[in-house]
Structure 1
Amino acid sequence: MFPRVILKGTMIKKSQQKKRTSPSNYKERFFVLDTQDLKYSERRPGKRPMLKGCIELSRIKCVEIVCADVPIPCSYKYPFQVFHDSHYLYIFAPDNDCRQRWVRALKEETKHNNLVAKYHPNFWMEGRWRCCHQSEKLATGCRIYNPEACASKKPLPLLPDPETELPDPGRQMVIALQDYTPMGDDDLPLQKDQQYLLVNGSHSDWWSVQNDKGDIGFVPSTYVAEKIGSNFDRFEWYNKHVNRGEAEDLLMKEGKEGAFMVRDSRQAGVYTVSVFTKAPGSNGEKNPRVKHYQIRQSDDGQGAFYLAEKYLFCTIPELIHYHQHNAAGLITRLRHPVSQGARCSLETADPSEGLGSQKIAHPLHSSCTNWPPSQT
């Protein structure tokens, strides 16, 4: 009896890098899911497709979306993962609906397999998991895996609870640090640099915000910054009780170009960016050291923050986000946030805490996922 075809379509796959020397590349492939295998082929004009890979469904241990916090380097921007044997296959769909169809179908076909108890919601990159920073590729995941769940099935966001809303709920505004594309019906899209009303910010990972049309939905808390206020504890780069010497020790120990942190200066209400660099000195030789930059505010009455005067920002998270992508006067770009203590929890807290009695399941991101992205 021939296997029944369930889905087929063109997507992009990332090389599985089964060997340490394998290149990291992205190639368009034609995928076919049937009741026995997941196959992908290279289409060649005028010729029969060439089979490039085949994964028996019985070998699959986990299928889940990837909560990417880095720029996607290919034209399709919606990744999901297939963990089989001891390998991770990253597949990129052209849109969220397509991704959800494939994830849902693959989960349905593999839900009775010998599955993992926990999975990694983010990418394996540069020798570590971006979600929990473990450096062993086959390390146990940091998020509980639910083979029955699909990210698209989530309840609508709650209206603000009178007992938990902000002291001044009418006018607390946040600014979007980055565009955000909803991954479910209860999310709200964000447009970079736009302002939103903060409806409820009591949960560490997910905040409820309202746009100028009155629509309310969830957004990752690290995608936005309070227009007024200085609560940076949710950002991995912030180290409140670290002095200059301790910062230098931590960053020198990290030893990565662009490793950085933001810490309190001796002067109350002032913050310093400390960053590690190996940039050559005056003699042309590498000179590992830590540079310190005080975050200043303009004196034009606007109170904008800056490290280099030409680049002014309404909030400190906006400033950090910009310099994670542009050196712009600094000795190096801010590449790798460093924390004195681990901020990652192994399991995501329930976003319903502090939002009333109704349960809200929002499984897309863990508190290990950091934004803004750090590029390499």
Structure 2
Amino acid sequence: MAGKDELDDCDIIKQGMMVKRSQNKKRFMPINYKQRWFVLTTKNFIYYESESDRKKERGRIKLSSITIIETATITPSPSILSQQDATNNESENGYAFQISYSDINEPQYTLYLITQKLQERTDWLQSLRTVCVDNMGKSERYHLSIWGGKKWQCCRAPSRNSEGCEPCSEWNETPPNSPVIKNGNNNSPVLSLTTVNQIMPGNTPTAKLKDQVPRIKVVTALYPFKAIEPGDLTLVKGCEYEVIDDSQDHWWKVRDEHGAIGYIPSNYVKEKELLGLQKYEWYVGDMSRQRAESLLKQEDKEGCFVVRNSSTKGLYTLSLFTKVPHSHVKHYHIKQNSRGDFFLSEKHCCSTIPELINYHRHNSGGLASRLKTSPCDRPVPATAGLSHDKWEIDPAELMLLEELGSGQFGVVRHGKWKGSIDTAVKMMKEGTMSEDDFIEEAKVMTKLQHQNLVQLYGVCSKHRPIYIVTEYMRHGSLLNYLRRHENSLGGNNGLLLDMCIQVCKGMAYLERHNYIHRDLAARNCLVGSENVVKVADFGLARYVLDDQYTSSGGTKFPIKWAPPEVLNYTRFSSKSDVWAYGVLMWEIFTCGKMPYGRLKNTEVVDRVQRGIILEKPKMCFKEVYEVMRKCWSHCPEDRPSFRVLKDQLATVSQGLLAD
């Protein structure tokens, strides 16, 4: 292995000159910009005083510690570059990017770099993302601009530790403005041969031509999928498939090992290189502590366990069920030492998390029990539509079962599509909605997909009454669920807060896609397996023809969930949804009580217009109630967005209910 001051040329992936912004690890260091020679190897990102003097190493970053690789905006533009170095005139308004990294003994640092040309930045981003693609602890969000001493210049957030304001890129993606060629077999963008040649580890001038062929995208099935419609392809869990066309978001055309070609749901597969922990039954991703406990207690098996993302970003937690001395769930942080090894007890370290899990299957090693089983028969995610490009459903394909409920729009029944897939079928009363407008909108709404939205599968529009076919949620409405389980849920702040966060995530997705719900309430959210809560009936109120339902003066109008601007001017927006969300939170923390009790609608309107808000529920944390109060700001502009609410609730959850 190469020493600190020497490199084996075979390890070098990419190298070149860039301008580096000082990291200012000490509080009062001045900001400066200096040219440095950067070398990317298979394990480290190193920078030197100059290209010629490799003895003067100025710093190195371990690739496994990198959590963010993104473009950056440095304002004001560092025009001092040309003053500091006369050879650097091209970089005066160069192209910036950032690398955030953390160490077991250090906080998170961010290195800002500037290239002279856009293509240089693109190549560095792709090279770094390629070699870091398997890193654990990647961040989900980042700050586009720099910290200005008192606030982030991009989003004005006043805390240096605040979560980023932009979603991070997938590290397998080609960065914007990168050179692409079209693969002859499909429409997927692939890196040009020149770029591929640049980033291949161990690349030499004598590399064979076959090593320069654009990469074939191979995915592994995380869930089974049964092809029912012509043109679809059956997925076998754990098997690999070659992607032929991934130009659509939700359905990809793939080829199996036997040469058969068809469409599969894209959320059922993952690129082979990016699988990470997802291929293991015991990994449950972002499942909260409360839902993990509920799932394991339901299994009721000694040694049953899951591994999940910790409430502290970048870390993982092992949740383990034991009956000794009584039935309960223990939570253990999976830690890393300075060598990067993982451990639950420092005496038993392993180089990977799967190796660590395998070790504790045979040795308790300080845990309450050996790891024995993980929950079986976990539900598969909903697909965006029942098949590729299918949104019109033949009623003859639906077997209607028991009634699930009835309401303003009609009766809802449990259904089976083609005898195999559970659905909920809303049978719309004739004359209750603007049917043609809704049918047109349904084509778009089937493409909305989020783990906290009830999936719209399609409509039966050729006959009357119209059927709206959606994902089936076994526990029904959130309102009824709260009331049925008041004894077990009351006072369980963790589980109730988790329900609020799930609804907020679904609403943040709708907000991002410019959808307004107009009737958000506990009665319009549904509960499925593993205490998953999803928002239902989003946007449906827009097509209702009943004046009693759509006019704020009507008896059916949801007065108790409406903000002042809706009551006064029927002015709906995402901010009116935020007000209703605050009332929904109140419903959750009172286990389904009616807001404002027995007050008449006219009395509620009077209170709302005078700024009188709902009182804090008895068992509710004051920090949670403060979030509700923000939702009820009289002025819409003063209410936070759902994205901000989601971050605030996550912070509250981490502070009050940390692992």
- Whether TM exceeds 0.5 here: the answer is no
Considering Cα pairs closer than 8 Å and 6+ residues apart, tell me whether 1 or 2 has the greater RCO: 1
**Normalised by the size of structure 2, how large is the TM-score?**
0.23
**Which structure features the higher share of helix residues?**
2
Larger radius of gyration: 2
**Normalised by the size of structure 1, how large is the TM-score?**
0.39
**Which structure features the higher share of strand residues?**
1
